[in-house]
Every structure is written in C-alpha cells, then in structure tokens.
Amino acid sequence: MKLITGDFKDVTVERLGINGEGIATLNRMVIFIPNLLPGERAKVEITRVEKNYAEARVVKRDNDSKDRVKAPCPIYDECGGCQIQHMSSRLQMEYKEEIVRNAFRQKTKLNVDKSDIRPTIGMEDPWYYRNKSQFPLGTRRGEIVSGLYKPNSNHLVPIEHCMVQQRDTTNINNAIVRILNELDIPVYDARRDTGYARTIVVRSGYNTNDVQVVLVVGHEDVPDLDELSDRIMELPNVVSFHININANRSGVIFGYRTVHIAGQEKMDERLDDVHYHLSPRAFFQLNPAQTEKMYREVVEAAGLTGEERVIDAYAGVGSIGLWLAPYAKEIRGMEVVPEAVEDANDHMRENGYNHVTYVEGRAEHWIPRWVKDGWIPDVIVVDPPRTGMDHQLINSIISSKTKRIVYVSCNPQTLARDADQLMKAGYKVNYVQPYDMFPQTSHVESVVVFEKKKKKKY
C-alpha cells in the first residue's frame, strides 16, 4: 500500500539516521522520524513522501527506550540547534561511532569489522562548550530578539540561554540585544533592503576569557555607532568590536567586508601552550576542550621525527600547524581566506617558527607546483570543510606520493568518499578515531591516518 501525506501509521524504529532521527521501514519504504530511538514504537503522521523515502512526526510514543533521557533544554523540540539531547550519553557515543562505521561500510571496501575504528572520544561535561555564537536578529512585538531559525522555516526561535554555548557568548549576546533595543537601531530587512542589525557574532576565549564581537549589518552607516561601540566595549571581557557589511539576501552570515571599530583588531586564545590571535573571519574550532585532545592526536598520528616535510592543507589560521611545528623539518600550508593566511604567518613568526610558511590559494594549485620544484612532502595533514576534499586535491595528493596522510574530518560521508579514492590509489587506513566535538548534536569529527602501501617484492 502506497504511503500518502497525512496517513497515520504504527511503526517500530530499527536504527538511527545520520541526523539523529529514528528510521523505520513500512511497505519497503524507509521512514525518517525525529525524536525516536531504536526499539521504540509509536503512532506517526506521514508529513512528506518522496520516491525512496518518507518523513513523519510522532503523534504518540508507546514505549521508551532505556537510552531515552529527558532533554534538559526547554526549547529543545522547537529550536533544532541540537538533535540528540533525548539520547543517553552512552548511546550518543555509540551512535557517532556507528555513523562513521556505516559511512565506510557504504562507500568503501574497508572491512569495518576487522579495521581499527575506535570508540568515540567524548567530553566529561558535554554542555556549555561552544566558544562562538552566531544569532540572527528579528523582532517580536516591536522588540529586537535573537535566536536560531526553526529547521526548514523562517520562524526565529528567541534564545536567551543556550546549554551548548559557553556562558560568556550568550551573556554578551543578550546584553547587545538590550543595547540595540535601547538605541532603537532597526533590524535589517533583506526583502526591503532597510534597517541595519542583522546577526550578532560573539567569540569567547577558552583559556584567555577575551571576547570578540562582530555585528553583521545590512548597511555600513549604522546610526549611533559611536555610542553602540562604547557600550559594547564596556561589557565584561570584550576586547574587540567589528562590524561586517552583508546586504546579501541569502542565508550566508558574513559579507565580504569587515570593519574594525574599537579595541584590538584580533583576540587572544590559547590551547595548551599554543597561542593564537584571531581575526573576526578566521576559522577556529568551536569546542576548544575537545580540540586540544584532537590536535594531540594529530601530532601523534603524524609521527614526526624532526626530519619530515609537512603540508598543512585547509590551514585556517595555522591551528594545526602550530602544534606540528616543533616536530617537523619544514611545514608549508595554504588557505583561501587572505586574513587567515596573514594570521597563520603571524602566529609562526610570534612563536619563532621560521621553518613554516603559509600561502594564499588552493592546495590543488600549490602541491603540484611544489612537487614539480622537487619539494616532496612526507606527511600531508588535511582539515577540509563538510564538503570534503576537492577531487583535484585528492589527485594532487596521490601524485605527490606522500607516505602518510592525516585527515581531520567533520563529515563521515565525504570522509568515506575521499577515503575510497585514496584506498584505490594504494593507501591503507591505519586507524579511525571519532571525536564528539559537538555533544547533543548529530555531528561527529574523526582523525584518520592513511599510509602508502609498500610495494611487494618478488
């Protein structure tokens, strides 16, 4: 019997999907149902039907899994920023390991049951960990509010307290909302191209307590900007204030131009004994406590002895390069964001590493050029975005004949896709280590070590 939108069905969840949703099967059709766990039975309403799958919502749950917990966040069901607060910590860790295993199982010929895919490394206290907030602005009953958009909608859910954000970020965000209301600075309306305030971005130092504020605006001529700046700089720990101009109608947070308004141009941060100075647009890991663990893993995985040439691809501000620098003969890195390249080179100079250089551009351009000049990397470290590695970059890495690749991934699907190409080119998976970088969400990061197979001698 064909499923129809609006149908009510009784289902039993068999497993979990990559977004934390429960998966049931009915009439050979896969049904995705948020907020259901394996083994739970429920009456659901079909909300969407496609050729190969359907989506549904829970009408009534008949039983509770032993791994179901009460989500502590009062707006968990409405916000959508977290997907798995209703899972026990044990299930969250097992679930994230299984996401990684399934990705390799589906996209590669790796025998996941015999390979070294390790248990997920989690946090002792998986709350209040995010060091950066990006809250869009809107209005409610004439008052400016900030929050997150409900999934698949234009409905802004106001948020005054977020249980996965560092407290400084939400406290400063809320204070800025109050200041915007008191100064009567209008919220930007993209459809009419009117108003100003669009998004508040707050980054808080994990080990320094420094706070950096960026107000994204639709137009540069913000009214009462001097008073706004003075009041923001008076907030606790704020050391840096910028505005970013973005009149784009898309959902992209930042525009192309950022203007320094007050305080320091960059904020200070420290992970272990490594110091960073961060520009507003520079990418930096959002969970510093877990980042320290993961970067230690990367250093160990790289296996440096002081004699190796290393490439740091997708380098950002040189976050990983700074950890590798004491153990490498030479490091070369690249990044497409000019401000990040500047930050990365500044970091190396400040730390006295004159054997590390970063250049602007794409890895697939620079790697073949360096190899052609005779500079052959021993180790390549990549930390790509969710889209994974560019196909040309994979070919460049393969052509470089590097012995070892350390892949830091934030998306198991693209990781496994890229791994398949590397394995076909003669690399083996040494091990896979998942990390819970974003507790209470369905995201999982991994460190994967690839080694070039040695040719058999006959």
What pLDDT digit, counting tens, does each position of 289-339 carry?
999 999 999 999 999 999 999 999 999 899 999 999 999 999 999 999 888
State yes or no: 182 annotated in a binding site. no
Are residues 257 and 147 located together in one domain of the fold?
yes
Output the CA torsion 162→168→171→173 (10° steps). -90
pTM: 0.92
Bridge partners of 309?
Answer: 330
Gap between the Cα atoms of 444 and 448, Å rounded: 13
What pLDDT digit, counting tens, does each position of 367-397 carry?
999 999 999 999 999 999 999 999 999 999 9
What pLDDT digit, counting tens, does each position of 19-48 carry?
999 999 998 899 999 999 999 999 999 999
State yes or no: 314 annotated in a binding site. yes
Residue spans of alpha helices (H) in 184-287: 225-233
Are residues 319 and 253 located together in one domain of the fold?
no
Q: Which range of residues forms the domain containing residue 239?
A: 132-278
Gap between the Cα atoms of 442 and 32, Å rounded: 14
* Residues acting as catalytic residues: 410
Strands (E), 185-256: 197-204, 211-217, 238-245
State yes or no: 435 annotated in a binding site. no
Residue where one domain finishes, among candidates 228, 258, 278? 278
State yes or no: 128 annotated in a binding site. no
In a domain? residue 74: no
Are residues 143 and 116 located together in one domain of the fold?
no
Are residues 304 and 435 located together in one domain of the fold?
yes
Q: What is the pLDDT of residue 80?
A: 87
What pLDDT digit, counting tens, does each position of 46-82 carry?
999 999 999 999 999 999 999 999 999 999 999 989 9
Domain tally, the chain: 3
Q: What is the CATH number of the domain that holds 111?
A: 3.40.50.150
Are residues 440 and 343 located together in one domain of the fold?
yes
Are residues 206 and 188 located together in one domain of the fold?
yes
